[in-house]
Amino acid sequence: MKKVFFILSVLLIFVGCETEKPSLKNKKIVKTNDFAIVIHGGAGTILKKNMTVETETAYKAKLEEAIKVGHAILKNGGTSTEAVMQTIQVMEESPLFNAGKGAVFTHEETNELDASFMDGKTLNAGAVAGVTNVKSPIELAIKVMTDSDHVMLSGKGASIFAKEKGLEIVDPSYFYTERRFKSLQRIKNKNKTELDHDDKKAAFYDADIKNAKFGTVGCVALDKNGNIAAGTSTGGMTNKRWGRIGDAPIIGSGTYANNKTCGVSSTGWGEYFIRSQVAYDISAQMEYQNKSLKAATTDVIQNKLTKLGGTGGVVALDKNGNMSFEFNTAGMYRASMDDKGILIVKIYKE
C-alpha cells in the first residue's frame, strides 16, 4: 500500500511540474518600444529665469536635431552603435554643449576631451581620456573598442591611435569657444562684473560657473535587433588641473550597456559618479534585484548619489524600450523618441 501511495505521489508531482511548464513558456515579455533613443546634454543649475528665449530655443532645436539623426538610423534598421555615434557627433559639433566644439577649458586654458562607448550585446567597450586634437571623441572611443585589444586610451597615445586609424585630426583651436573661455576666466579671477548689459545673458554665464562640473552629452539607443548601446562625451570640468579625468570615460560610471537589462549615460559631478559606479549600479539592481528601470534609476540618483553628496543625472533605456530620465539638479537637457516617432524635448525639472 505504501509503495502504491509513493508511486501515485511521484506521478502527481510529475504531472504538476508538466502543467507548470506551458505557463512559463507562454509568459509574454511586454515590449514598450521595438526601438527607441534617449539623449542628454548635461545637468545642473539650469533655471528658466537664467535663460534667454533665444538660448532656450537653440538648445531645444539642437537636441531635436541630434536625436532625429539617431532615430532615423534606428527606424531604417540601422544599429544602435551607429545611432549613438552619429547622435553624439551632432552635439560634439555644437558650441552649446560641453563636448567637442563647445568643450570647457582646463586651468591651463586647453581643452581635454573624454568619451566612452559600450555595446550591450557583447559587453565590449572603448574609451578615451585627455584627447586634444581628435574632432570626434565618441568615434575614437568606438574605434578603440572595435580596432584594439584595449578599453581605454589616453592623451598622446589616443591621438596617435586616432591618426593610425584615419580619424579626423584638428588643430586644438577648433574646440575654442568664447563663452567657455570667458567662463574659465571668470572662475579664475572670481570676477563678478557682468560681461555686458544684458542681465539675462550675464546670469547665463554665471550659471556656467555654477555648472563648472556639468555639461556632458550622452545617448542610449535600442535597435530593432534588441541591441542596446550607450555613449558619453565631455570636455570635463571647467578649470580642471593635473590631467583630471571624470566619470564620462569610465565604463560603469559614466556609461554602461547590457542587453539583459539596460543602457545608461551619466552627467554630473564625475568624482561621485565614479565612487558610486552609477551606470553599472542601475543595471545591477535590475539584474540581481529584479527592479524596474524607473525604480533602479530613482534609487541610484535620488538615494545613493544624493546621500553621498553627488549631483547630476542619467538617461537610461531598458531592453523593452522603457525610458528613464533621472536627475537631482534643477534641470537636465534631454530628449527622447520612441518607435512611433513621438518626440519629447525638455530642459527644466517638471
The C-alpha atoms of residue 16 and residue 21 are separated, in whole angstroms, by 9
Strands (E) located in the chain:
36-44, 113-119, 125-131, 152-154, 217-222, 228-234, 255-257, 262-268, 312-318, 323-327, 331-337, 343-348
- List Cα–Cα distances, 222 to 32, 103, 205, in angstroms: 11, 27, 36
Side-chain half-sphere exposure of 72, counting CA atoms within 13 A? 8
The C-alpha atoms of residue 103 and residue 202 are separated, in whole angstroms, by 20
Which residue, chain included where needed, has cell 547590457?
Answer: 258
Side-chain half-sphere exposure of 249, counting CA atoms within 13 A? 31
Asked if residues 242 and 149 have their Cβ atoms less than 8 Å apart, the reply is no
Alpha helices in 120-248 (DSSP H): 137-147, 155-164, 178-189, 199-210
CA angle 173, 174, 180 (to 5 degrees): 80
Asked if residues 346 and 335 have their Cβ atoms less than 8 Å apart, the reply is yes
The C-alpha atoms of residue 118 and residue 264 are separated, in whole angstroms, by 10
Q: What's the Rg (C-alpha) of the chain?
A: 23
Residue in 342, 336, 341, 306 with CA at minimum distance from that of residue 323: 336
Of 216, 232, 238, 255, catalytic: 216
Is 216 an active-site residue?
A: yes
Within 10 angstroms of residue 31's Cβ, the number of other Cβ atoms is 14
Which residues are catalytically annotated?
216
